[in-house]
Amino acid sequence: MPRVTVIVAAYNAADTIEATLASVFAQRYDDWQVVVGDDCSTDATADLAAAFGERVRVVRSPVNAGTPAATRTMALGHATSELIAFLDGDDLWEPDYLETMVAALDARRGEDPRVAAVACDALLLLPDGTLSQKTYMDVAGGWPAGDVGVEELLSRNPVYASALLRRAVLDEVGGLDAGLPGTDDHDLWLRIAEHGHRIHHVRRTLARYRLRDSSLSADRGAMATAGAAVFRRALERGRLDPAQRRRARRAIRVQQAMGRCEALAAEYRRSRRPPVVLAVRSLPLLTLAALENASRLVAAARWLARGRRPYGPAETPRP
């Protein structure tokens, strides 16, 4: 039985799935299997994946579930390994991803048994195929000071989704939540931390994360709504202490304020006139959120007002 099962979620990924799977086959660490969850693609995704042979199992959904979490959950039902690694059907791994991550998880767990997962940094591939001047960790606010726990995850998500984790812990916390499209990974890491586990960062760039104009992550208003839902669910689970509950409520206000900033910017872009009424109604929330987390909200407002994202093409292409 392979030690690692690579869970690949894919939907209409015919233009990228071969490169994604080729990056798995190029791994220096060889004790793995792949399960591709195909979310009822209408293109050749499933056939292209199946062509890689017996090390790749393709599981097709009879209907389109519409969320990566549902597709990953379907694929997980066919995984038999101790360790699980997530990889989307349009992302890529560097050849030493599995070798480095498995070794780091084993070593860190030897020091602290609470460590249940390891994460890394990723280069950002822009929709036009160029590399961003920033990495995932740059956009996520930088490296955490140590292993990631509840407090860090109640402020932001510093864990790139292509992480390696123990299957037993994934089962312990109830798996992925398909009701949180776009933020299901953040919710998973938070639930893992709530159960007393920790997430360790390998401070290396070992993956390439593809950004698409059509993806949910490109819609900052929708992501703010989904982000607030993550923190609401954390409050509802009742595992947070009083200080953590205050932090969660503050995070909800920040996400709501970011959503209001998106609405203001979108209305301005449509009409080229200041959306005065919406701005006045939003002022109390925006003021409170800015007082609680000024740097993050101001940066988000600046990107939105300019119609830009917090990343751009690299001045010098990365290798």
At residue 109, the pLDDT reads: 96
* CA distance linking residue 296 with residue 304, whole number of Å: 12
Nearest to 80 by CA among 143, 167, 154, 205: 167
C-alpha torsion sign, points 305, 67, 140, 319: negative
At residue 211, the pLDDT reads: 86
- The residue ranges of every structural domain in the chain are 4-216, 219-305
Query: Checking DSSP bridges between strand 56-60 and strand 131-135, what pairing results, if any?
Result: unpaired
Query: Checking DSSP bridges between strand 115-125 and strand 198-210, what pairing results, if any?
Result: parallel
Tens-of-pLDDT digits for all 319 residues of the chain?
A: 899 999 999 999 999 999 999 999 999 999 999 999 999 999 999 999 999 999 999 999 999 998 899 999 999 999 999 999 999 999 999 999 999 999 999 999 999 999 999 999 999 998 888 888 889 999 888 899 899 999 999 988 999 888 999 999 999 999 999 888 889 999 999 999 999 999 999 999 999 999 876 554 555 667 788 889 999 999 999 999 999 999 999 889 888 877 777 766 666 666 665 555 455 455 554 554 454 555 555 555 554 454 445 544 443 333 3
Determine the Cα angle at 23 with ends 19 and 29, to 5°.
Answer: 165
pLDDT in tens, 8-38: 999 999 999 999 999 999 999 999 999 999 9
At residue 291, the pLDDT reads: 47
* CA distance linking residue 226 with residue 5, whole number of Å: 28
Instruction: Tell me if the domain spanning 4-216 has CATH number 1.10.10.10.
Output: no
pTM of the predicted model as reported, rounded to 2 decimal places: 0.84
Burial (0-12, 13-18, 19+ Cβ within 10 Å), 280: exposed
Burial (0-12, 13-18, 19+ Cβ within 10 Å), 317: exposed
At residue 253, the pLDDT reads: 85
Nearest to 311 by CA among 157, 137, 123, 134: 134
Other C-beta atoms closer than 10 Å to the C-beta of 113 total 10
At residue 174, the pLDDT reads: 96
